[in-house]
């Protein structure tokens, strides 16, 4: 039985020499998330299945990071170009009769909608191959789209192999292509490496099909930024900047006030409710969830697994890591709140430190509803501050010395000043 699905074949085997890094390039983060993750999400968002990824340099690290992901891995032992990567994948497609979309693990801005549009154009044209292109002012570093006098796609020429005339072409190849699967794998085995890099280019398949008068089409992306690849730290920073602004623009469209977008850092997969205000110089890491009507910043750092419930406020020079901030709770000044579960209507005084790490493990601190934590308090985890309890200014509540509901403690170490109300 043959497969009729449309597959994603993601090429992610390169080391990324210009990154000057021991880490596989596709694990470098864009807005808090490895760049390969975005490509996987786009492929799945476009309904591609199966999703297969060709890996090479740092293969084990990549597998480990994406353990549990619904991905079929293909290892390219020797990296000899994009065509060679597809050759390596060929055995996985035995009996496959559907379309294959070739994607790249270092192009994180590509949207699922663009992949779907590419596939739709490919099928309308009844093409054997459809190439995603873009028209830009400066295509330096990218292959050029060479067309015949009639406007048909004739060839794709890599920059290093292009003539002076071809280098003036402003239409560039994104590298992203939709193929008729059987045609791709039948043709790729005839690709040669007779070029300056002695590599096998996937783009040669396009020229070979064109010469045989096979139907080759193009689809031009509306926003050329979507196909920006990352090959250096400078490009990593540029793509991150673009994505960060896209995230911020989306949140503002959803009803979030971001006072100074240029000086606010919000990563991927952050949820923020409407009527929340984000003040300047705030960093909100991937996965953070913020409710409605909150206030964050300025100079606030919200780290992984932090949740701010409706109406809560975290302010100047306060860092929260793996913390729940309850409804209407305020932590406005100069505090570190790590591994905390804070209830509703709590006041966290200026300079409060939750000492969550004992040198070996991190521990949880629980602060009950309506508690008042005085300025300069140090809470040594694990510890619990009861509902309605108070710690005096400068108090050090030592580990496992829980403060009862309604009690008041002061001093170093903190001692009971006022008993729990009956």
- Cα–Cα distances (Å) from 209 to 100, 130, 154, in that order, read 16, 11, 9
**Active site annotation includes 333:** yes
How many C-beta atoms lie closer than 10 Å to residue 59's C-beta? Answer: 19
Which stretch of DSSP H or E encloses residue 410? strand 408-410
Quick one: 174 exposed, middle or buried, by C-beta within 10 A (0-12, 13-18, 19+)? buried
Which stretch of DSSP H or E encloses residue 29? strand 29-30
By three-state DSSP, how is residue 211 classified? helix
Largest CA distance in the chain: 92
Rounded to the nearest 5 degrees, what angle is found at the Cα of 109, between the Cα atoms of 105 and 114?
Answer: 95
**Whole-angstrom Cα distance, residue 114 to residue 106?**
16
- Cα–Cα distances (Å) from 318 to 293, 310, 338, in that order, read 19, 18, 11
DSSP label at 402? P
> Which entry of 28, 122, 301, 333 is annotated as an active-site residue?
333
Q: Beta 277-278 vs 295-296: how paired, if at all?
A: parallel
* Cβ(402)–Cβ(408) below 8 Å: no
**Whole-angstrom Cα distance, residue 24 to residue 14?**
8
Beta strands in 297-395, from DSSP E residues, in sequence order = 301-302, 307-308, 313-316, 319-325, 330-333, 336-342, 347-348, 353-355, 365-367, 372-373, 378-380, 383-385, 390-391
Can you read off the two tokens belonging to residue 326?
A: 């309850």
**Residues acting as catalytic residues:** 333
């Amino acid at each position: 039985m043959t497969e009729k699905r449309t597959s994603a074949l993601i090429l992610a085997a390169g080391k990324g020499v210009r990154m000057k890094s021991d880490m596989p390039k596709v694990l470098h983060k864009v807005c808090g998330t490895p760049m390969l993750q975005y490509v996987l999400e786009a492929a799945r968002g476009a309904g591609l299945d199966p999703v297969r990824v060709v890996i090479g340099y740092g293969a084990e690290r990549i597998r480990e990071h994406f353990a549990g992901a619904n991905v079929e891995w293909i290892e390219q032992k020797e990296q000899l170009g994009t065509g060679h990567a597809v050759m390596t994948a060929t055995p996985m497609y035995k009996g496959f009769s559907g379309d294959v979309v070739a994607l790249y693990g270092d192009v994180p801005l590509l949207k699922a909608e663009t992949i779907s549009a590419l596939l739709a154009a490919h099928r309308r044209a009844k093409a054997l191959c459809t190439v995603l292109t873009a028209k830009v002012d400066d295509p330096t570093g990218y292959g050029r789209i060479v067309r015949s006098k009639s406007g048909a796609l004739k060839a794709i020429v890599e920059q290093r192999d292009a003539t002076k005339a071809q280098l003036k072409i402003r239409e560039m190849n994104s590298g992203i292509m939709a193929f008729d699967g059987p045609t791709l794998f039948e043709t790729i085995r005839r690709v040669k490496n007779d070029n300056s890099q002695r590599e096998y280019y996937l783009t040669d398949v396009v020229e070979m099909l064109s010469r045989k008068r096979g139907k080759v089409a193009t689809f031009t992306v509306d926003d050329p930024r979507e196909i920006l690849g990352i090959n250096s730290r400078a490009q990593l920073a540029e793509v991150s900047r673009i994505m960060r602004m896209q995230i911020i623009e989306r949140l503002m469209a959803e009803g979030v006030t971001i006072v100074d977008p240029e000086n606010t850092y919000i990563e991927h997969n952050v949820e923020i409710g409407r009527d929340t205000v984000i003040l300047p110089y705030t960093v909100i890491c991937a996965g953070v969830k913020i409710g409605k009507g909150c206030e964050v910043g300025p100079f606030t750092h919200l780290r992984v697994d932090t949740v701010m419930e409706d109406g809560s406020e975290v302010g100047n020079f306060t860092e929260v890591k793996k913390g729940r901030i309850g409804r209407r709770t305020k932590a406005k000044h100069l505090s570190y709140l790590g591994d905390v579960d804070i209830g509703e209507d709590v006041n966290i005084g200026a300079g409060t430190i939750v000492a969550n790490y004992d040198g070996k493990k991190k521990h949880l601190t629980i602060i009950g509803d309506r508690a008042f934590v005085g300025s300069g308090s140090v809470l040594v985890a694990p510890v619990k501050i009861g509902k309605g309890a108070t710690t005096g200014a400068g108090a050090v509540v030592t580990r496992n010395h829980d403060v009862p509901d309604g009690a008041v403690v002061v001093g170093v170490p903190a001692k009971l000043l006022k008993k729990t109300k009956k």
